[in-house]
Structure 1
Amino acid sequence: MSDIQSARLDLHNAVLADLAATKPKSLSRALEYQAEALSSLHQTLATLDDFATALSDASATDELVEMWRKRLTHWDYAAPTSWSSAQPSTTDRRDHIYLGLGLDEALASQLTRLIPVATTDRPVVISETFEQWYSPDTQHGRPFYWPHYEQLLEKKGWSPEAIASLNDASDSVVARLSDPTREEAYQAKGLVVGYVQSGKTANFTGVVAKSIDAGYRLVIVLGGTLNMLRGQTQRRLDMELVGRENILRGANEIESDYADDPAWLKGDFASFGELPSALGAFDIVRMTTRDNDYKSLLQGIVALEFEKREPTLPLHDPRNLHRSSARLMVVKKNKSVLTRLVKDLNKIKTPLAEIPVIIIDDESDEASVNTKDLSKPNNERTAINKLIGQLLVMLPRAQYVGYTATPFANVFIDPSDAVDIFPRDFIISLPRPEGYMGVEDFHDLLSPIPPLERNFENSNEKAHIRNVTLEDEDEDDTSLREAVDAFVLAGAMKLYREDHGDTPMTSYTHHTMLIHESIRMADHRELLVRAKRLWFNAGYAGPAGHRRLRELFNSDFAVVSASRSEGYAVPDSYDALMSYIGPAVARIGGDDNPVIVVNGDKDLETGVADFDKRPIWKMLIGGQKLSRGFTVEGLTISYFRRTTTSASTLMQMGRWFGFRSGYKDLVRLYLGRTERLTAKKTVDLYDAFEAICLDEETFRAELKKYANPINGSSQITPAQVPPLVSQHLDWLKPVSPNKMFNARLIEADTAGEWNEPTAYPQTAKDVRHNFDLWAPQLEKLPHGIETLEVTAPDGVRDKLVALTGIITPQVALDIFERYRWANADQFAPHLAFLRSITESEAVADWLLVAPQLTTPTQQASLSSARTYSWFARDRRSQRTSFGAISAPRHRTPLLRIAGALPPSDDPATEALVRPKRGTIALYPIVERPGRELIEESRVFDPGSTVMAFSFVAPSSARSFDGRILRFTTIDSSQTSPVIDAPGTT
């Protein structure tokens, strides 16, 4: 690096350090001001022209660009503020930044070219009105721990965009807590919804850092129900937030509870140089350690006493608050532990009403939620829920924030229960993090590619899912053997990548396989024997083992990685990989102990799954301990055969979700597709996970839809969220039904949106009834076939070939009202909306569309010689739902005709557009048992042809006040719905 380049970096570093504490301001003046304090060389570089020259030759990874990326990204993500009312992460926001910096168009364009505007999704917030006390324009306490946490994340390799996103998301939480210095106590309760294994801990670490900087002085983290999860959370907070000095407090390094932790020895724990109190900040006193939960000891009681500089003033007065140490404890959700804590808090001299407290409830849908119906005689709250309630009552300044990836149990809590944990103040849905593998990465949701045309490249299912053949498993563990072979191959591929990467990369410290069939310890014993037998008889050093690995590599890993390796090295043949097989096998089983059982049975523990203390290349067998919250590092191969009837439980068991940097293409899920649920019913686990994904994504989409305020007020409040929960699988409920009685959706205003009703009946009588409703309308359609071809917003040209005709709103409503369902409640909110837009004349007519296929065998007649296309769909695992009824390519033209999309270049489509026109797509469905008959007879059977339909109401039919839902919530203390949504009647 030349002297000029070095001087330029020094100058801009000084400028950006100055700008970090302010809004965008004149860059020209800032350069001149900073240069005066440096040298004459710096002064010659203190011009916008020099900056422009440097940028003209720079790449996106140059140090100067990276410095500016961090600052611009921070401003991009900042909440609307006095210097910019534009929404974060928009071109308007970036324009305001450039305007504040005083940049001309050319220089601004150069920066945008190198540092594009970050477009990461922002948190979705459903909130009650709250006091605006925490914003970018004000100072809160003494920022210390959050800036250090930012620096640590940057050191760990987090991108500026990821850090800015975390900053934004944690601000969204802290801003909705009560001001810790507020004179009158207020207790906010909220819920933060993330994804399974998606970094929720990073968010609540940021929230804790900002909260204690702002003045919260007691932090209680409820760290799950298991010791290993509590310990994992404690270590994470100690390493990234508390820091070495607060841990040691003057003690020798070897006296630390992390003295044997590699990260401690390598200096990866946060460090401040001195105790924070010596630096003008405040210390964090740990009330728990990695290995020790909260204990009721005299020392603990003394340590809980809060010091006051001004004894006559309350602790929450700023003159005391910002001079007092914070207390942090990570406690297990265990009756004995929480009872000790409640008892000790009642003993301390500091008035509890003066202490600003934040309670972080990790996995808040587990154990924390009351499962007893208090309206029934002699019922009491469950133990953990009761103790959390006691903490909230005795600590009136306590703020409760629950974290979960499966939120439905929390949102179905009775909102009227003042001492329960319903998130009455806010619900925040975190954006999906970059690089995260979730349910949708293992499914082909709404894929337009026909199943027979899917391959390893265009299908997530083909790439990552491997079926467990149950018959073979009963005989010789064929699928489990293949899964273990895949584990060895994936490990060898990782070692190959360490040696052949184009750029230096971190080694694969952990490489794990999860075997999960049962929560029963007796089953774990059997699994341990099976897994070990397979391992020691695998013959990986001999020709038989290499023969199997070569075949699996050629048929699976080579072809998947060829299209999905994301630039990571892939051997061109098994021979090129063979030399890495031995080292991989040695890492896994070189100690003759290739399996770790993690279930609490001390007789079975064959190793400790402590990813913090040592590299782990092992197969893991477990149940509950490995299915909730605990992070299985390096997880690459999963063998899964456990069934449950709860969507939240099943989702939490999906430990294969998470971040798989450098090996996403190697991830495999061996799944028992058909599993017995009851004596008379079997289920498809793959379908179950797809249904969970649809439940989850629908809920997130609904939250996002109603998050934007109208006229300054939220469209909905947290108490009105329960009706947004949906269920896509009849036997897999989001939560227990007795938690859903407090809310009832009345109407769903979905104008301009594609709607596909579900819950189609199965009885021949009801199917025939519905057939008779639609058949006459089908026969009335004109004979001419329309070809509609419109470009979708994503650039794909969508084509629909169909019969079309007009029906009146009254005729359509009559059919909608008389249509029979397996569960009428699911269509009731739509029916209310359709009824209202018909009565208000918000719909002028409906375009009835019957999509037509070119397949000759999929044509049949009604009562005349005229034929119509029928569609092959199957219900999934005895569901009333067929999944997706319509073809994605059919939707764009019909959305355009209903006014939901801008004008197209297709004359045929535009000729059908009319004001206040809606569209209905009719799909005669023939299920698998009846297809042979209809192909032979070419005649519809009214008793087995399901007349399924989709509809798009006119986009102009949106309600006048912009609200989309009308519903009530039910107060359990009343006998009828009493709480209406604002603006409804």
Structure 2
Amino acid sequence: MTAAEDAAAQTKLLDNVVATANRLVMAEKDKSKITPAYIVEQVQKAAKTFAGDTPFDVGKAVAILIQRFSHWMGKATTLRDNTGHFDWLSAARKKDWYYWHRYRDFQESRLSDKVVDGLDEATDDILGHLEDPRRTDAWDRRGLVVGHVQSGKTSNYTGLICKAADAGYKIIIVLAGMHNNLRSQTQMRLEEGFLGYETTDGRDPGMPIGVAEFGEHLKTNSATTRLENGDFRKAIAKHFHGISPEERPWLFVVKKQKTVLTALLKWIQTRVADTSDAGDGRKLVTKLPLLMIDDEADNASVDTGEQVFNEDGAPDEEHQPKTINSLIRQLLHAFTRKAYVGYTATPFANIFIHHKGETAKEGPDLFPKSFIINLAAPSNYIGPARMFGKMTKEGRKGELPLSRNVQDHYDAKTDAGWMPPKHKKTHIPVCNGQETIPSSLRNAIHSFVLACTVRDLRGQGAEHSSMLIHVTRYVAVQGHVYKQVEETVRRMRQRIIRGSDADALRAQMRKIWEEDFVPTRDKVAKLSPAEEIPPELPEWSEMLEKLPDVLDDIKVRSINGTAKDALDYATPGASLKVIAIGGDKLARGLTLEGLCVSYFVRTTKMYDTLMQMGRWFGYRSGYLDLCRLYISPDLMEWFGHIANASEELREEFDFMAAAELTPKQYGLKVMSHEVLTVTSPLKMRSARALSLTYSGTRSQTILFHRDAQRQKHNLDAAQTLVASLGAPWAGILKYARDGNADSWSNARLWKDVDVSRVLGFLDTYATHPGATRVNATVLADFITKMIGIGQLKKWSVALLGGGDGIGAPHAFPGLPETESFPARKTEDPEPSQADPDKFAIGVLTDPKDESIDLDDHAWREALALTRAAWKPDPARGRMEPPSVPSGKGIREARAKLGGEADRGLLLLYPLAPYVGKEKSPDKLIVPGWDKPIMAFAIAFPSSDNAIRVEYKVNPLYWMQEYGPSE
């Protein structure tokens, strides 16, 4: 037996023992008995059955199960509109289900009961919001399921498909991305979780897989296969005749591509339809209920054309939607009974769809009018909250120490280098005059080799390991990168295996090992819960011995959208060690199994595109400490920014769900967020103007001009305002807060300020044009309109210094000289690589500051509202119920309480002018400016009056600043 065959046999043995012991543990009804000792006992029983006298690592199986049974899952949150909907999903209806029970047993062999219970509950929730497939009159349900990137959305919709098939849905269409590799990967996942067999070229069932082990073969029909040419097309459509209602359901896993969708639509109209519409003669299917799953629903499905609405809100029915959107809607429109469920981690484009959009040919647009469900992720999920931490006034806190700064790919001074942010498809990557990779990418490759070696020595050698290199969207440029990386790996292999000139290379790798891997493992261990602490690292001598075999196994691949890229992962016994080089083909949906190292320098700044490119999110059991993210400073800043933006929007969702509001109402709220960093204006159907409301939101200046004259101008604006306010409020800025006192040093508060003072400040202060959410002119316009309906006439204004700042304390006019304000320390800002004339900070304010003018009663009400909307979600770092109110809770409380609390709040912050703690001219953030940099935040109470203001968008500025959306 070869070493590879022996490793595969050991992996199979481990899988069998773990699966059997898992079932034994799950069978224990008294969950209090499930202790580590109990798990050891069950593993030993399973090992006797499968291992016999064969040497077997019982400890490894025990560790896997202890970790598995410590995982848990938060609850999903739902916005719903049940107009015309009948509740139908009951325990009696679920009693004789087969597909779901097979899938549940299959999942329980791999996951903890708590995670599977969470999946069961979430899929019940989604299915219950669809319509009963036995209901014979016409119905149309459309919803959206929002998950975290790489968190298990495929498992969720596989579970939903199983339950829908059990319930009686007969045609199941899965729209699986834009490329062959993702479609093939999705087909294979559904074969494993739903069909129970491998599909073949002849469409006959092949080898049993996945759920087949857990129940009878149900002879489910699949019109598509796992092969590269296995998509639906005209050539095979002629083999499929009509579908009778008595048959098992039919599965179609198809690309969002014109030819494929056109062929499917034609086949349904000619072979499946059983009647015609009395009005327009459309062919209709009335006897077969449809479930359509739209994976990555924000990509290609959204109509980027602009439909016109007349004065009474009626849509132009002759509007011509974009091709893919039109075909998806025509497919739905061909059925009288249908349910559409979109899945995405970045829902913004879908929510921007107009809720009244409709045409005669396509029917209603894809707005999720029936429900939006926000999924939680299991506790072992590694998402933005854990990867990048949380931004606070003191900087980012709690992030995993896995990111590495990449700057040698680009020279900002010459706007050139190996991979400049903006380059053409004819670009040839050159480093130091040669067509070779920069040292940062060489270090990343060395790190990947080390990670693979450690995984082998930890007993994970039979599992896949991947590295992602994502530096350009152009295929031709990717080709150059592929050649350079392939040459680098070939030379490494040659030097280590043959021993020629190997000492220098071994020394380089040992340096990374001792200065990076060893300390990082210890840091990750300190940040991990007990059951997730990574194993100890092997000795360097063991690493050296294993290196040749690992290097021999590593393959370099260019990912170009073919099914082969996905198929290799499914080959029995294969354990790939692959360096994947790609661009847009890697950006959406495609899972890189065992992703350890990512090298990422793409420059788009749009939320949806960036988050979808974040293939490194997900599950990293047993090797989290080995993972690395090599990323440029600008991208690091933006990932942190969108992690914060994501949490704000999810919190908005939580509050609206607690208030039992509808998807339509959420859509109007999301449009008020920092939309220019959310998605492309094209996807928002408005490349010219955005309609915003600020009610219930907080705006803060985090982007600034690097210009002394503008800084003087803004400081003057603040000083003029403070001088006009008179004596501050006489009360002491300290509150009991139920025994956990809040206080502010170096702060002054003015209550009952007339709105004219605030408007005067906004008229004078110059915000940066890139600060789309904090545009002083637009803010003033909104406040003026609110005054017109009798709101926001009175304000609180606070001036908040910070004792940890550096520089001479600043005395504001109108305050005694003894009340000078040391400026707050600024989080060390770096000049933007794209624009050195501006700088950004992370977070200016926090919820505590928003409560500076609230008494204890109002504070307690804000806390109660925060807790009512709160649900545990480890992916968002939400583990324990909150003990202080969130900013959103405070703004909701202001509106609910009315009276003195129901007013706007303007917070003024003098920021330190120096980078770091050193007070010297060369450390000035803004050259020539050694006085405070004035920043501000405004918190608006929530309002039922949806007053909106327009923000003009310059599409050219948008493209120059943020890059393409896809």
- Partner residue in 1 for 2:354: 414
- Partner residue in 2 for 1:724: 670
- Mapped to 2, the partners of 1:839 and 1:60 lie a distance apart of 63
Q: State the secondary structure of the residue aligned to 2:271.
A: coil
Contact residue 790 and residue 798 of structure 1 kept, 8 A: yes
- Partner residue in 2 for 1:150: 104
113, 116, 125: which one aligns with 1:163: 116
Q: State the secondary structure of the residue aligned to 2:155.
A: helix
Q: State the secondary structure of the residue aligned to 1:637.
A: strand
- What displacement does 1:739 show? 1.9
Q: How does 1:64-143 map to 2 (within 5 A)?
A: 120-129=74-83, 131-139=85-93, 142-143=96-97
173, 194, 200: which one aligns with 1:241: 194
Unpaired segments ≥5 residues, structure 1: 1-8, 17-50, 67-114, 277-282, 308-314, 316-322, 499-505, 589-593, 674-683, 907-912, 971-985
Which residue identity is paired with 1:515?
A: I
1:857 equivalent in alignment to 2:807: yes
932, 935, 952: which one aligns with 1:948: 935
Segment drifting more, 226-235 vs 897-906: 897-906
- Mapped to 2, the partners of 1:272 and 1:442 lie a distance apart of 36
Taking CA–CA contacts closer than 8 Å with sequence separation of 6 or more, which of the two structures ends up with the larger relative contact order? Answer: 2
Which residue identity is paired with 1:704?
A: D
- What displacement does 1:587 show? 2.5
Q: State the secondary structure of the residue aligned to 2:693.
A: strand
Q: How does 1:176-195 map to 2 (within 5 A)?
A: 176-195=129-148
- What displacement does 1:209 show? 1.2
- Mapped to 2, the partners of 1:616 and 1:216 lie a distance apart of 38
Contact residue 783 and residue 792 of structure 2 kept, 8 A: no
Which residue identity is paired with 1:330?
A: V
- Partner residue in 2 for 1:466: 405
- Partner residue in 2 for 1:344: 267
Contact residue 178 and residue 188 of structure 1 kept, 8 A: yes
Per-residue deviation, residues 347-383 of structure 1 (Å, max 9, x unmatched): 2265212210011111122222222335599984322
- Mapped to 2, the partners of 1:141 and 1:654 lie a distance apart of 40
Between the aligned residues of both structures, percent identity stands at: 25
Compared CA separation, residues 895 and 62, structure 1 to 2 (3 A): farther
- Partner residue in 1 for 2:212: 270
- Partner residue in 2 for 1:916: 900
Compared CA separation, residues 325 and 350, structure 1 to 2 (3 A): farther
Contact residue 711 and residue 933 of structure 2 kept, 8 A: yes
- Partner residue in 2 for 1:364: 297
1:578 equivalent in alignment to 2:541: no
Per-residue deviation, residues 513-572 of structure 1 (Å, max 9, x unmatched): 111222322212211221122223333352212211111011111001012144322237
Contact residue 635 and residue 656 of structure 1 kept, 8 A: yes
- Mapped to 2, the partners of 1:964 and 1:148 lie a distance apart of 50
- Partner residue in 1 for 2:281: none
1:616 equivalent in alignment to 2:576: yes
TM-score, normalized by length of structure 1? 0.70
- Mapped to 2, the partners of 1:302 and 1:479 lie a distance apart of 54
Structure 1 vs Structure 2 CA RMSD: 4.8
Which residue identity is paired with 1:306?
A: I
729, 739, 743: which one aligns with 2:685: 739
Segment drifting more, 325-334 vs 727-736: 727-736
Greater C-alpha radius of gyration: 1
- Mapped to 2, the partners of 1:436 and 1:768 lie a distance apart of 47
Compared CA separation, residues 388 and 835, structure 1 to 2 (3 A): closer
Unpaired segments ≥5 residues, structure 2: 1-21, 43-68, 275-284, 310-315, 412-416, 419-430, 526-531, 864-882, 885-896, 952-966
- Partner residue in 2 for 1:886: 845
Segment drifting more, 507-516 vs 875-884: 875-884
- Partner residue in 2 for 1:899: 858
Contact residue 284 and residue 327 of structure 1 kept, 8 A: yes
- Partner residue in 2 for 1:648: 608
- Mapped to 1, the partners of 2:405 and 2:806 lie a distance apart of 34
Question: Matched residue pairs, number?
Answer: 795
Compared CA separation, residues 687 and 345, structure 1 to 2 (3 A): same
- Mapped to 1, the partners of 2:320 and 2:913 lie a distance apart of 48
Compared CA separation, residues 287 and 514, structure 1 to 2 (3 A): same
- Partner residue in 1 for 2:62: none
- Mapped to 1, the partners of 2:754 and 2:247 lie a distance apart of 70
- Mapped to 2, the partners of 1:10 and 1:557 lie a distance apart of 36
Q: How does 1:210-249 map to 2 (within 5 A)?
A: 210-244=163-197
Contact residue 914 and residue 925 of structure 2 kept, 8 A: no
Q: How does 1:432-831 map to 2 (within 5 A)?
A: 432-447=377-392, 459-460=399-400, 462-470=401-409, 474-475=431-432, 477-498=438-459, 508-538=462-492, 539-540=495-496, 541=499, 542-565=502-525, 566-571=532-537, 573-588=539-554, 594-599=555-560, 610-613=568-571, 614-644=574-604, 646-673=606-633, 684-709=634-659, 714-718=660-664, 720-725=666-671, 733-736=679-682, 739-740=685-686, 744-749=691-696, 756=700, 770-776=714-720, 778=722, 780=726, 788=734, 800-810=744-754, 813-815=758-760, 818=763, 820=765, 821=767, 822=769, 826=774
Compared CA separation, residues 938 and 783, structure 1 to 2 (3 A): farther
Which residue identity is paired with 1:162?
A: V
- Mapped to 2, the partners of 1:883 and 1:372 lie a distance apart of 35
Which residue identity is paired with 1:599?
A: N
Which residue identity is paired with 2:456?
A: L
TM-score, normalized by length of structure 2? 0.71
- Mapped to 2, the partners of 1:672 and 1:836 lie a distance apart of 42
Compared CA separation, residues 491 and 299, structure 1 to 2 (3 A): closer
- Mapped to 2, the partners of 1:898 and 1:838 lie a distance apart of 30
Which residue identity is paired with 1:707?
A: A
- Mapped to 2, the partners of 1:612 and 1:792 lie a distance apart of 57
- What displacement does 1:134 show? 3.2
Per-residue deviation, residues 263-301 of structure 1 (Å, max 9, x unmatched): x5xx5443465443xxxxxx4211111114344569745
206, 224, 231: which one aligns with 1:288: 224
Which residue identity is paired with 2:746?
A: A
- Partner residue in 2 for 1:428: 373
Contact residue 515 and residue 622 of structure 1 kept, 8 A: yes
Contact residue 408 and residue 734 of structure 1 kept, 8 A: no
Compared CA separation, residues 933 and 493, structure 1 to 2 (3 A): closer
Compared CA separation, residues 549 and 130, structure 1 to 2 (3 A): farther
Compared CA separation, residues 802 and 219, structure 1 to 2 (3 A): same
- Mapped to 2, the partners of 1:450 and 1:220 lie a distance apart of 46
Which residue identity is paired with 2:354?
A: D
Which residue identity is paired with 2:695?
A: A
- Mapped to 2, the partners of 1:117 and 1:653 lie a distance apart of 26
Q: How does 1:23-38 map to 2 (within 5 A)?
A: none
Contact residue 805 and residue 848 of structure 1 kept, 8 A: yes
- Mapped to 2, the partners of 1:850 and 1:182 lie a distance apart of 61
Per-residue deviation, residues 875-933 of structure 1 (Å, max 9, x unmatched): 87357864311368766766766833489999xxxxxx998357653202355699979
Per-residue deviation, residues 379-402 of structure 1 (Å, max 9, x unmatched): 843222221122122122121111
Contact residue 924 and residue 930 of structure 2 kept, 8 A: no
Contact residue 733 and residue 852 of structure 2 kept, 8 A: no
305, 330, 354: which one aligns with 2:242: 305
391, 402, 406: which one aligns with 2:342: 402
- Mapped to 2, the partners of 1:368 and 1:708 lie a distance apart of 30
Which residue identity is paired with 2:447?
A: A
Segment drifting more, 556-565 vs 574-583: 574-583
- Partner residue in 2 for 1:5: none
- What displacement does 1:219 show? 0.5
Q: State the secondary structure of the residue aligned to 2:754.
A: helix
Contact residue 513 and residue 638 of structure 1 kept, 8 A: yes
